[in-house]
Structure 1
């Protein structure tokens, strides 16, 4: 406790299909562009299968970081420089991702700009996108290793903090992101064409916009740490008296977890939230002191030396009735429940 809470093997190669250059693609702005590229289908392999060791791309990253000024005088010169050491399309795509640009083109690999709805910094649970809602974001799909894969250079460059200022912070997560993780906060929309839009989710079972609106939005950190929210899958919850929200992670150990509970006036009521840990499952028990709408933010961190608690998820809770005998949880700078080695200590 006591940390700052923040809101913010070789690489596979493949034979490329014959497609027009991206330079030509950029001259055409209608939906017929997509017909000239391979059809969108769910990838046959996940990211870790085609890129098991990200360190194999270090030479690409190092090359990009040494980009000379002369190479930035035009997109053509820049692209020529960036892909110079690349031996396959993943390395080409990586070069542009590392450079953090929207000019992912001229590299000789198929790439498309996709517009749609995103659950970004300003998104609040309970907000519903509709077919009439203008697209608020754009990202890219690149065709590598025989499949379309997502690249999000904007969010990969950094985050917006509580002060609404952009903070540069390169992240690996948005490079060739698996579709099941990407759909959490990206919903493609192509001119109200539901069929075409659904294809570019790259999922075997695409989501409807209604489902996208209702589903929870685990943060990037929660997805990177493979945290599973097992009890409540929707982002707006109705409750009476008390509610227990459970989550766990098998691949990563959370060293610290904390919460914030804000009422409709913005007052923090976190003293009415208890955190219990047992068998690597966290239970967050919420007992609001009065009826009304609350915003619950759950934070966590990995690594005992980390000074920042990252936001894992946000729920909106609508409390219908309260327990008249409820009282705040005792102040306790740890988790309720038995410690991990309770059996070794002789307890049964």
Structure 2
């Protein structure tokens, strides 16, 4: 008796026209079944945003939990944390995984698919299982040497070794998993703005596309997936870091195009179509848009300057606006092109709850690197995620440029703006006028001296600086809710020359 099965074969329709699907049967040796030829869905922008289709990654918690349970030779499953990659053994009942054995689960594409789709009830859950498993189980090593006669981009080879030597390896494996359950999938190649991208050496159509990713058809829409970037990243020194990234799962096209430009050689029309945008961008536009980090797009952070290279005279003002996630702090670092620190010549001011102003005043003409990082409200993690990096070209400066006062975190928290003095180094034994503005402070102090409040938001007063050089003055503030001077928050610090 034949073992019946069903096979769906997707074929491309070059004209994008709807045609009828064709059904038939097949016989191969002692097996047979039904065969369906389906037309690959037409390429078009998705009708709904990711936040509508995937309002929260927690909707996949049962899928993610199942994916994390992989077996080891002792028969006990292993849970791999998507953040730390630490391996933790869990005790489970033997019948929890009746079909999962050390040999079967990740031996090949067929056995892995059988395990992963076990609890899945929809295509989007299957795609989630594939993405989550790949990102948390396939490592990356450009120099990895596979045995002879084994293709480094073959999905089953990658499964056996648990390592991909290129983004194409991730892409091929994801494609194979999707095709095994008849989910339409497309492998795309093109240019990406990774950490090594230099905007002064823009991409041209003569460059060879070196990165690959997928488009997958779920829920009646094409969606982007980048398993390689979802699994980790290479820093500016070329060191690879394993770190799961949720952002690259079903990413919206308008966010994806910031750093992924599909380029199918000799097929410009298809290249544009696979941007999945209503108005495709040109390669020139792509090159002239500053690369922002995934967290920047996820939090809805917007910048007044969208170009990666900014040419200016004397002073530069960059406005930062937050639209989705409230940010409690933005830090700015400034370096010369040869990595000499110039942080004293950049200042960050919080104008309102969702607006920040970055002020750059270089000490001399030249090329500088400005990096912005930010923390969202309630985040107590020590790491401050990067947001964006600019190349600054200063052509002229003001005479006798002075450094900005050192700013503490509380200055941004309470939206403090220092009006006078705007430079860090003060003369000893000299009368200095201070003017401070904030909508949230109750009192302002220079050390223990209280400044006079002249209106609802402004304090001022004249202070005689210390007589000895090498000392410093600190500006403190208390919130309007309490006048407890013991809870003063440091705002700014000045040096006495």
State the TM bucket, normalised to the shorter chain: 0.7 to 0.9
Matches within 5 A, 1:261-272: 261-272=334-345
Return closer, same or farther for 1:192/1:325 CA change in 2, 3 Å cut-off.
farther
Q: Which has the higher strand share?
A: 2
Shift of 1:274: 1.0
Separation in structure 2 between the aligned mates of residue 121 and residue 242 of structure 1, nearest angstrom: 27
Q: Deviations over 1:181-205 (max 9, x none)?
A: 1111000000142211010000001
For 1:180, the equivalent position in structure 2 comes to: 254
Report SS of the residue matched to 2:247: coil
SS in structure 2 of the partner of residue 315 of structure 1: strand
TM-score (normalizing by structure 2) = 0.61
CA–CA distance in structure 2, aligned partners of residues 193 and 124 of structure 1: 26
Equivalent residue, structure 2, for 1:11: none
Whether 2:179 is the aligned partner of 1:190: answer no
The aligned counterpart of 1:85 is 119
1:126–1:214 CA contact under 8 A, matched in 2: no
1:45 counterpart residue number: 48
State the distance in 1 between where 2:8 and 2:259 align: 30
Gaps of 5+ in 1: 1-17
3-state SS, counterpart of residue 238 of structure 1: strand
CA distance, structure 2, for counterparts of residue 256 and residue 46 of structure 1: 28
The answer to whether residue 445 in structure 2 is matched with residue 341 in structure 1 is no
**What are the within-5 Å matches in structure 2 for residues 144-293 of structure 1?**
144-161=218-235, 164-229=238-303, 231-279=304-352, 280-293=354-367
- Using the size of structure 1 for normalisation, the TM-score is 0.86
Counterpart contact for 2:333–2:371, Cα < 8 Å: yes
* Structure-2 separation of matches of 1:340 and 1:93: 49
The answer for unaligned runs of 5 or more in structure 2 is: 1-6, 18-38, 72-101, 139-169, 418-436, 444-452, 458-497
Question: Whole-Å Cα distance in 2 between the matches of residues 329 and 42 of structure 1?
Answer: 47
1:321 aligned residue (388, 393, 396): 396
2:279 alignment partner, SS class: coil
Deviation at 1:294, TM superposition (A): 1.1
Structure 2 match to 1:20: 9
Cα root mean square deviation, aligned:
2.4
Decide whether the 8 Å contact of 1:125 with 1:315 is kept in 2. Answer: no
* 1:219–1:311 CA contact under 8 A, matched in 2: yes
**TM-fit CA distance, 1:342:** 5.1
Q: Are 1:19 and 1:110, in contact at CA under 8 Å, matched by a contact in 2?
A: no
8 Å CA contact 2:196, 2:236 repeated in 1: no
Give distance in 2, aligned partners of 1:213 and 1:141. 22
1:308 and 1:133 map into 2 onto residues whose CA distance is 35
SS in 2 for 1:20: strand
Taking structure 1 as reference, are residues 188 and 31 closer, same or farther at Cα in structure 2, changes over 3 Å only? farther
* Native 8 Å contact 1:125 1:314 kept in 2: no
* Distance in 2 of aligned mates of 1:343 and 1:182: 45
Contact 1:67 1:82 in 2 (8 A): no
Does residue 332 of the first structure (1) align with residue 407 of the second (2)? yes
